[in-house]
Amino acid sequence: MFGISFSELLLVGLVALVVLGPERLPGAARTAGLWIGRLKRSFNSIKMEVEREIGADDIRRQLHNEHILSMEQEARRILNPQADPPKPAQPPLDAGAPIVPLAEPAAAVQAPTAVPAEPSTPVAPAAIPEPPQTPRAP
Protein backbone atom coordinates (compact mmCIF):
# COMPACT_ATOMS: atom_id res chain seq x y z
CA MET A 1 0.00 0.00 0.00
CA PHE A 2 2.70 2.45 0.98
CA GLY A 3 5.51 0.73 -0.89
CA ILE A 4 7.35 -0.40 2.25
CA SER A 5 9.58 -3.38 1.64
CA PHE A 6 10.51 -6.12 4.10
CA SER A 7 13.96 -4.68 4.71
CA GLU A 8 12.46 -1.32 5.69
CA LEU A 9 10.06 -3.02 8.12
CA LEU A 10 12.96 -4.96 9.63
CA LEU A 11 14.91 -1.72 10.12
CA VAL A 12 11.93 -0.08 11.89
CA GLY A 13 11.57 -3.15 14.13
CA LEU A 14 15.23 -3.06 15.13
CA VAL A 15 15.08 0.69 15.94
CA ALA A 16 11.92 0.09 18.03
CA LEU A 17 13.66 -2.76 19.90
CA VAL A 18 16.64 -0.54 20.70
CA VAL A 19 14.53 2.49 21.73
CA LEU A 20 11.73 0.73 23.67
CA GLY A 21 13.58 -2.31 24.93
CA PRO A 22 12.42 -5.92 25.01
CA GLU A 23 10.00 -5.38 27.95
CA ARG A 24 7.85 -2.63 26.40
CA LEU A 25 8.05 -3.67 22.69
CA PRO A 26 5.18 -6.25 22.74
CA GLY A 27 2.78 -3.74 24.38
CA ALA A 28 3.77 -1.01 21.91
CA ALA A 29 3.25 -3.35 18.93
CA ARG A 30 -0.20 -4.34 20.26
CA THR A 31 -1.19 -0.69 20.73
CA ALA A 32 0.09 0.21 17.24
CA GLY A 33 -1.91 -2.70 15.77
CA LEU A 34 -5.10 -1.52 17.51
CA TRP A 35 -4.67 2.04 16.21
CA ILE A 36 -3.98 0.84 12.67
CA GLY A 37 -7.10 -1.38 12.79
CA ARG A 38 -9.24 1.54 13.97
CA LEU A 39 -7.89 3.76 11.18
CA LYS A 40 -8.62 1.08 8.55
CA ARG A 41 -12.19 0.60 9.80
CA SER A 42 -12.90 4.33 9.86
CA PHE A 43 -11.45 4.82 6.37
CA ASN A 44 -13.49 1.89 5.03
CA SER A 45 -16.71 3.20 6.61
CA ILE A 46 -16.12 6.68 5.13
CA LYS A 47 -15.34 5.13 1.75
CA MET A 48 -18.54 3.01 1.83
CA GLU A 49 -20.64 6.05 2.79
CA VAL A 50 -19.20 8.17 -0.03
CA GLU A 51 -19.72 5.37 -2.57
CA ARG A 52 -23.29 4.95 -1.40
CA GLU A 53 -23.92 8.68 -1.75
CA ILE A 54 -22.63 9.02 -5.29
CA GLY A 55 -23.85 5.64 -6.54
CA ALA A 56 -20.40 4.42 -7.46
CA ASP A 57 -21.56 0.80 -7.45
CA ASP A 58 -24.12 1.49 -10.17
CA ILE A 59 -21.60 3.45 -12.24
CA ARG A 60 -18.98 0.73 -11.83
CA ARG A 61 -21.50 -1.97 -12.79
CA GLN A 62 -22.65 0.01 -15.83
CA LEU A 63 -19.06 0.58 -17.01
CA HIS A 64 -18.30 -3.11 -16.54
CA ASN A 65 -21.38 -4.12 -18.57
CA GLU A 66 -20.51 -1.66 -21.37
CA HIS A 67 -16.97 -3.04 -21.46
CA ILE A 68 -18.28 -6.61 -21.74
CA LEU A 69 -20.72 -5.63 -24.51
CA SER A 70 -18.02 -3.87 -26.50
CA MET A 71 -15.73 -6.90 -26.15
CA GLU A 72 -18.57 -9.18 -27.32
CA GLN A 73 -19.29 -7.00 -30.36
CA GLU A 74 -15.59 -6.90 -31.23
CA ALA A 75 -15.37 -10.70 -30.97
CA ARG A 76 -18.42 -11.14 -33.19
CA ARG A 77 -16.97 -8.74 -35.75
CA ILE A 78 -13.67 -10.63 -35.80
CA LEU A 79 -15.21 -14.12 -35.89
CA ASN A 80 -17.92 -13.36 -38.46
CA PRO A 81 -16.70 -10.70 -40.88
CA GLN A 82 -19.23 -11.62 -43.63
CA ALA A 83 -22.25 -10.89 -41.42
CA ASP A 84 -21.67 -7.16 -41.59
CA PRO A 85 -20.28 -6.40 -45.08
CA PRO A 86 -19.45 -2.81 -45.93
CA LYS A 87 -22.24 -1.08 -47.82
CA PRO A 88 -21.32 0.32 -51.26
CA ALA A 89 -21.43 4.06 -51.53
CA GLN A 90 -24.08 5.38 -53.88
CA PRO A 91 -23.37 8.58 -55.78
CA PRO A 92 -25.91 11.35 -55.25
CA LEU A 93 -28.58 11.61 -57.92
CA ASP A 94 -28.65 14.74 -60.06
CA ALA A 95 -32.21 16.11 -60.09
CA GLY A 96 -31.88 17.52 -63.64
CA ALA A 97 -30.27 14.47 -65.26
CA PRO A 98 -32.48 12.18 -67.37
CA ILE A 99 -32.96 8.60 -66.22
CA VAL A 100 -31.33 6.17 -68.66
CA PRO A 101 -32.11 2.44 -68.49
CA LEU A 102 -29.06 0.27 -67.95
CA ALA A 103 -30.25 -2.83 -69.84
CA GLU A 104 -32.87 -3.88 -72.37
CA PRO A 105 -36.09 -5.44 -71.10
CA ALA A 106 -36.01 -9.19 -70.49
CA ALA A 107 -38.53 -9.91 -73.30
CA ALA A 108 -36.12 -8.60 -75.94
CA VAL A 109 -33.32 -10.94 -74.85
CA GLN A 110 -33.75 -14.55 -75.99
CA ALA A 111 -32.02 -17.28 -74.09
CA PRO A 112 -30.40 -20.09 -76.09
CA THR A 113 -32.29 -23.37 -75.97
CA ALA A 114 -30.51 -26.55 -75.02
CA VAL A 115 -31.28 -29.89 -76.65
CA PRO A 116 -31.40 -32.70 -74.11
CA ALA A 117 -29.02 -35.54 -74.84
CA GLU A 118 -30.43 -39.02 -75.46
CA PRO A 119 -29.58 -41.47 -72.70
CA SER A 120 -27.39 -44.38 -73.74
CA THR A 121 -29.56 -46.94 -71.94
CA PRO A 122 -33.33 -46.83 -72.00
CA VAL A 123 -34.97 -45.89 -68.72
CA ALA A 124 -38.35 -47.30 -67.81
CA PRO A 125 -40.94 -44.82 -66.61
CA ALA A 126 -41.54 -44.89 -62.87
CA ALA A 127 -44.62 -46.80 -61.88
CA ILE A 128 -47.12 -44.83 -59.83
CA PRO A 129 -48.74 -46.97 -57.15
CA GLU A 130 -52.53 -46.95 -57.08
CA PRO A 131 -54.25 -45.94 -53.87
CA PRO A 132 -55.66 -48.80 -51.81
CA GLN A 133 -59.33 -49.51 -52.45
CA THR A 134 -61.78 -49.70 -49.61
CA PRO A 135 -64.58 -52.30 -49.77
CA ARG A 136 -68.03 -50.87 -50.34
CA ALA A 137 -71.02 -51.99 -48.37
CA PRO A 138 -73.96 -53.37 -50.54
Q: What residues contact 124, with CB distance under 8 A and at least 6 apart?
A: none
Tell me the HSE value of 63 on the side-chain side, using a 13 A CA sphere: 6
pLDDT at 82: 74
pLDDT at 4: 82
pLDDT at 30: 95
Residues 17, 25: contact at Cβ < 8 Å?
yes
Please state, as a whole number, how many other Cβ atoms lie within 10 Å of the Cβ of residue 100. 5
Please state, as a whole number, how many other Cβ atoms lie within 10 Å of the Cβ of residue 62. 11
pLDDT tens, N- to C-terminus, the chain (138 residues): 568 899 998 998 899 989 989 899 999 999 999 999 999 999 999 998 988 887 777 788 888 889 898 999 998 888 887 765 555 555 555 555 566 555 555 555 555 555 555 555 555 555 566 666 766 666
Cα–Cα distance between 38 and 75 in angstroms, integer?
A: 47
Query: Considering the entire predicted model, what is its pTM?
Result: 0.36
Cα–Cα distance between 61 and 78 in angstroms, integer?
A: 26
Cα–Cα distance between 50 and 42 in angstroms, integer?
A: 12
pLDDT at 60: 80
2, 4, 25: which is closest to 13 by C-alpha? 25
